[in-house]
Amino acid sequence: MSTNSIKASSTFFDRFNNQDIVKFSLTNQNNVTVSAISLGATLYEFSIPTNTGRTNLVLNYPNSGDYLANPFYVSMGIGRTGGRIKDGQLPLNGQTYQLQTNEGTTTLHGGPNGFNTQVWDGEIVEEDGEPTIQFHHTQLSSEDGFPGDIDVTIIYRLTNDNTLKLTFEATALNEDTVFNPTYHTYFNLGDNDTILKHNLQVNAEQHLEFDDKKLPTGNFLSVENTPFDFRQTTSLGNAIQNMQNTPEKGFDDIFKINDDAINNTIATLQDPETNRSVSITSDRNGLVVFTANSFTKEDMNFSRTNGIGIPYEGVALEAQNLPDATRFDNFGDIIIKAGETKVHEIDYHVEF
């Protein structure tokens, strides 16, 4: 007889590029379900029971093909490196590696063959008496152009206090390389089509200055007296309103997490209408906030909005190290030495 308090299952999801895509699910004692599909190790569902049924707090699509039909990485696993690398040129150990590019001259989110494009080997693995979802993939240098091959495991653990713990483990198999994965999770906690009524709090005194390609210049800007000031719980709708004079008409920005918040709560998103919230814990110094300003009606087959995309439909909160970190001395360490293993964790704690 099983004594697990977390229930696990796996089912066929669909066929994509001649491969079976599998969906794995975990459900806790409060009837909270987390599921993931093997394409991109994507977070597919983080659903809670409600008075009328269930609500999924993350954006998703019905088919695997929908995920790569647009450039928005909807709730997908991102790696080797989240964010942009200037000119696709990775400085490492005094050398420069030319990577594959996928946004003009820039390498974005691991490039055109990044983690999100891979079909991961998934399985339910019991750990400490509870099931977990574990995705495994060996990312080859010959595949994505980064130096060295890495063995990567992404683990989903769900607790009975409604926390999803995402762990990334990477071992550099043969050369020094870089590892700065994230999840491109778009939350919409409410019952509306947009997040404009949500509140956001971010433990960041500073955000990054960009050039005109959204590449970091290396300068840190104070959030004080700007729409970037989320130190106190702030209306996201008002903040977005105050960004209407920017090309993005919203946020697509990188916050530098305060030192004392690292390994603790870095940000909290809440929907006052439904009283639902998610708090994010991370062991790294960056958070991208992307308010889905440029979502398009076409090519975004969202389940939530019946097959169309809507600007501000969700907010992507991408916990990671500051991007392009080997270019700047003070951005943090994303290097894995040959033979070494590095582990990172992002936790989402929901309340409802």
Closest residue to ligand FUC, judged by C-beta, is 290
Containing H/E element for 342?
Answer: strand 341-351
Annotated binding site for beta-D-galactose: 184-186, 252
Nearer to ligand FUC by Cβ, of 166 and 288: the residue is 288
185: left (phi over 0), alpha (psi -120 to 50) or beta: beta
In angstroms, what is the minimal distance from the CB of 166 to ligand FUC? Answer: 17
Nearer to ligand FUC by Cβ, of 49 and 71: the residue is 71
Q: Which of 109, 137, 184, 207 is catalytic?
A: 184
Pair type for strands 19-27 and 33-37: antiparallel
Between the alpha carbon of residue 85 and those of residues 90, 138, 352, the distances in Å are 7, 22, 38
298 is known as an active-site residue? no
Q: What does the CA dihedral 117, 185, 74, 12 come to, rounded to 10 degrees? A: 70
In angstroms, what is the minimal distance from the CB of 94 to ligand FUC? Answer: 29
In angstroms, what is the minimal distance from the CB of 246 to ligand FUC? Answer: 13
Q: What are phi and psi of 261, to 5 degrees?
A: -95, -15
Nearer to ligand FUC by Cβ, of 6 and 287: the residue is 287
Which parts of this chain interact with ligand FUC (CB under 6 A)? 71-73, 214, 252, 288, 290, 316, 318
Could you give the CA distance from residue 321 to residue 103 in angstroms, rounded to a whole number? 20
Pair type for strands 199-202 and 186-187: unpaired
In angstroms, what is the minimal distance from the CB of 316 to ligand FUC? Answer: 6
Q: Which residues pair with 58 in a beta bridge?
A: 187
Q: Which of 109, 198, 318, 344 is catalytic?
A: 318
Nearer to ligand FUC by Cβ, of 106 and 118: the residue is 106
184 is known as an active-site residue? yes
Q: Which residues are catalytic?
A: 184, 318
